[in-house]
Chain A
Amino acid sequence: MASYIVKRVLRSFITLFLVVTIVFCLLRFMPVEGYFNNFDKMTPEQIERQLDARGLNDPLPTQLVRFYNDLVHMDLGESIKYRPGVPITEILAQRIPMSMLLGTISLVLALALGIPFGRLMTRYKGRIPDHIGTAFVVLIQAVPAVVYYLFIQMYGTSLAGLPLLFSRTNLATYVLPIISLAIGNIAYYAMWVRRYMIDESNKDYVKLAIAKGVNSRTLMSKQIFRNAFVPLVQYIPTSLILTLVGSIYVESIYSIPGMGGLLVKAIQMQDNTLVQALVLIYSFLSIIGLIIGDIAMTLVDPRISFGKKGGAR
């Protein structure tokens, strides 16, 4: 177990190192305008001088080493166009709490609704509640998220009279973003709870329990559900960690001052250092989420050990 965790963490470090390097190198191919706030007004000499001063004309390995060094000291550089001269860590520190707040509320909502939905679908398998649930899941899974987000916003504001744009102080503006954030996860958890529970109820121990006369309510909640939930445990840490970065769509649709909307702005403004920092944070958090998820699963179900299986997940 311990050796598995060590291996897993080491491997993730390699992944992270590769991601950092590739991201950094790729972004050096971008036109240099992305490094200046007022590129059009500058003379070529000024540009050269500025590039030299920032070390952007140094050979790539030198720049890379400097970049690693900065990263180790938690320095992600300064924003260039979005908020010129402001350290990116400072921008992030202002924006992360908002994404986290909305994300956590919606995740709790999604678990609180998605799991009972999944169990309901299992209980009425092949009957009307199951069909309705399946149709909902298919719709949410197949249609791009932005489409139903836009419909929620369009009809939420015109039919339910809820406010269009987010405001920190007005709680009514929290409703639509939270619903939008939760709806995908509700479908996701309902679908997997249903599938794993159905798989689980075909197993021999369930037949034995029925033969023994365990009543179906106890059987469902104490035996089938607990076993069915094990594979899902893997995803919860990722969901939780990704609340930090928020949803790109939802935050920009409602102009929520969180992390998700930031990426769209940075890309539109061609703020190279900000894009770089955001891409790195996204990858870093996803990788951490995967590690914690894998470890959580081995803790919940002692039968699972990843050590022997290697790559054959």
Chain B
Amino acid sequence: MASKWSLNERTARKLDKAASAAVKDALDTMDALKAAEEGGSVERAEKVSGMSEEELFSFAEYDPHKGEKIGYTEYSYWRSTLRTFLHNKVALFFLALMGLLVLFTIIQPLLPNQADPNKIFFNAEGLARSNEQPGGEFIFGTNNAGQDLWARIWAGTRTSLYIGVIVGIVQVIIGVIMGLLWGYVRKLDFLFTEIWNIFDNIPQTIVLVLLSYIMTRSMGTLIFALSITGWLSMALFIRNQVLMIRDRDYNLASRCLGTPLYRIIMKNLLPYIVSVIMLRMALTIPEVISSEVFITYIGLGLPPSTPSLGNLVNAGRVLMMSPELRYQLIFPTVVLSIITVSFYVVGNAFSDSSDPRNHH
């Protein structure tokens, strides 16, 4: 305490000295000016004597922009997030692309002249019209079995997006609940941390492979296997956020002022967590698509009667070595890549712009 005071004292003395020096300087200048006016030949006065009144002094004009700088601005977290996001032109482009693709995937079956993804087309002789080149009657051609590749790609995208969204929602719900418990209930912290330490070491791929191996091949299995591991990282993140935010000064202040809990949660906690949730949802989709492709590749995926991006890639893979059939791999992978890249870019851009440190 004593040293702190003496430090302040010293600072004060220094300030005093500086002030008195400044006053002395000013007095000197005035003297010099006076001397110059009087026609004296003091050396210092010569510098200023040649200058006119306008050169020596200028009026400080009122500038509204400068006024804003120190004035009070109403800071809104969401508006700043949006503004930062809108600055990112690449992310905007991918957001538009993503929106269009998702919209098209949803409305595609409602458009006229769309084939059923599982319908096999036959020609006049009663043979399946397999491997027809793209551009004719079928926009993306037909596959090996004589099904419309265009219809299958959009149906597959729907399946994959559906799985992604469900898995994302499940992860968020379990992750947020567990994370809040983990962070708020202090008694649970040790137990949960130990459990996390043990389970985090189990490779997710193994869980996925194992569950798909022992369960029947269906969408439900895939959703279950993907949800069961994904929520762990979410819960940890929420827990860390809660721990960090819970006892911050502004939250203590809020509590002291009698702010109700729901308002603390809505105003102080949720902005952080909602951005995490959005990020999680956006990044879950490329992850889930990758996992689905992987599981299908090792032979544990969905049956071909349920078209999915994994199925399509796998079917195209078999034919890719004959150049004229390559389109059956290229079309699905291009659609898949556009979807995964746009979700990835948008998710990351959103997480960047939701970080208050990036708000300017």
Residues of A within 8 A of B (CB): 11-12, 14-15, 18-19, 23, 26-27, 29-30, 138-139, 141-147, 150-151, 153-154, 157-158, 164, 248-249, 263-264, 267-268, 275, 279, 282-283, 286-287, 290, 310-312
Interface residues in B159-197 by Cβ distance below 8 A to A read 192-194, 196-197
State whether A267 touches B313 (Cβ < 8 A). Answer: no
Interface size in chain B (residues, C-beta < 8 A): 44
- Shortest Cβ distance from residue A103 to the other chain B in the assembled complex, whole angstroms: 16
Q: Determine the chain A residues whose CB is within 8 A of the CB of B194 once the complex forms.
A: 11, 311
Q: Which residues of B contact A138 (CB under 8 A)?
A: 341, 344-345
Question: 8 closest Cβ contacts across the A-B interface?
Answer: A311-B193, A142-B344, A144-B290, A142-B340, A286-B203, A144-B293, A142-B341, A15-B201
Q: Are A287 and B333 in contact (CB under 8 A)?
A: no
B206 near A279 (CB under 8 angstroms)? Answer: yes
Separation of A248 and B297 alpha carbons in the complex (Å): 10
Q: Are B333 and A151 in contact (CB under 8 A)?
A: yes
Which among B32-40, B63-71, B120-128, B209-217 touches the partner chain? B209-217
> Which residues of B are in contact with A by a Cβ distance under 8 Å?
192-194, 196-199, 201-203, 205-206, 209-211, 213-214, 236, 240, 243, 286, 289-290, 293-294, 297-300, 313, 317, 320-321, 323, 326, 329, 333, 336-337, 340-341, 343-345
Given known A142-B343, A268-B299, contact A154–B198 (CB-CB < 8 A): no
CB distance from A152 to the nearest CB of B (A): 11
Chain A residues lying within 8 Å of B313, measured Cβ to Cβ, are 144, 146-147, 150
Q: In the assembly, what is the distance between CA of A288 and CA of B193, in Å?
A: 20
**Which residues of the partner chain B approach A29 to less than 8 Å between Cβ atoms?**
214
B201 to A12, Cβ gap below 8 A? Answer: yes
Give A12 to B198 CA distance when docked, in angstroms.
Answer: 7
Contact partner of B197 among A11, A147, A158, A249, CB < 8 A? A11
Report which of A147, A157, A310 forms a contact with B336, defined as CB distance below 8 A. A147
Alpha-carbon distance between A257 and B298 when the two chains are bound, in angstroms: 16
Beyond the given A249-B294, A267-B298, could you list 15 further A-B residue pairs with CB under 8 A, ordered by the A residue number? Answer: A26-B210, A138-B345, A139-B337, A141-B344, A143-B336, A147-B293, A150-B320, A267-B209, A267-B300, A268-B298, A279-B206, A282-B205, A282-B206, A286-B203, A311-B192
Q: A29-B214, A139-B341, A145-B290 are in contact. Are A14 and B198 (CB under 8 A)?
A: yes
Q: B202 contacts which chain A residues (CB < 8 A)?
A: 15, 18-19, 283, 286
| Pairwise interchain contact A267-B299, C-beta atoms closer than 8 A | yes
Residues from chain A with a CB closer than 8 A to the CB of B340 are 142-144
Q: List the A side residues contacting B299 at CB < 8 Å.
A: 264, 267-268
Answer whether A147 and B198 are a contact pair too, CB < 8 Å, given A26-B214, A264-B298, A311-B193.
no
Which residue of B240, B321, B343 contacts A164 across the interface (Cβ within 8 Å)? B321
CB B156 to nearest CB in A, in angstroms, measures 13
List 5 A-B residue pairs with CB atoms under 8 Å apart, sorted by A's residue number: A138-B341, A147-B293, A154-B329, A267-B299, A286-B201
Closest to A287 in B: B201
Q: Which residues of A contact B343 (CB under 8 A)?
A: 142
Residues in A with CB closer than 8 Å to B193 are: 310-312
Task: Give B348 Cβ to nearest chain A Cβ, in Å.
Answer: 8
- B205: chain A residues at CB < 8 Å are 282
CA–CA, A146 and B197, complex, Å? 31
Q: In the complex, which residues of chain A have a beta carbon less than 8 angstroms from the beta carbon of B298?
A: 248, 263-264, 267-268
Expressed in whole angstroms, the Cα–Cα distance for A147 and B323 within the complex equals 17
Complex-state Cα separation, A12 to B203, whole angstroms? 13
* Of listed A15, A27, A311, residue having the most chain B CB within 10 A: A311
How far is B210's CA from A145's CA once the two chains are assembled, in angstroms?
A: 20
Bound-state Cα–Cα, A263 to B295, Å: 12
B341 touches A275 (CB 8 A): no
Given contacts A11-B198, A150-B317, A267-B300, contact A142 B286 (CB under 8 A): yes
- Give the nearest-CB partner of A142 in chain B: B344
- CB-CB under 8 A from B297, the residues of chain A are 146, 248-249, 264
Nearest chain A CB to B255's CB is how many angstroms away? Answer: 23
A145: chain B residues at CB < 8 Å are: 290
Task: Tell whether, in the assembled complex, residue A150 and residue B329 are in contact, meaning their CB atoms are under 8 Å apart.
Answer: yes
Complex alpha-carbon distance, A264 and B243, angstroms: 43
Q: Kindly provide the distance from the CB of A297 to the nearest chain B CB, expressed in whole angstroms.
A: 16
A279 B201 Cβ-Cβ under 8 A: no
One of B214, B240, B294, B337 near A312 (C-beta < 8 A):
B240
Complex: how many Å from CA A144 to CA B203? 18
Report how far A264 CA is from B209 CA in the complex, Å: 10
Q: Find chain A residues with CB under 8 A from B345 CB.
A: 138, 142
CB distance from A281 to the nearest CB of B (A): 10
Q: With the chains together, A275 CA to B213 CA distance in Å? A: 9
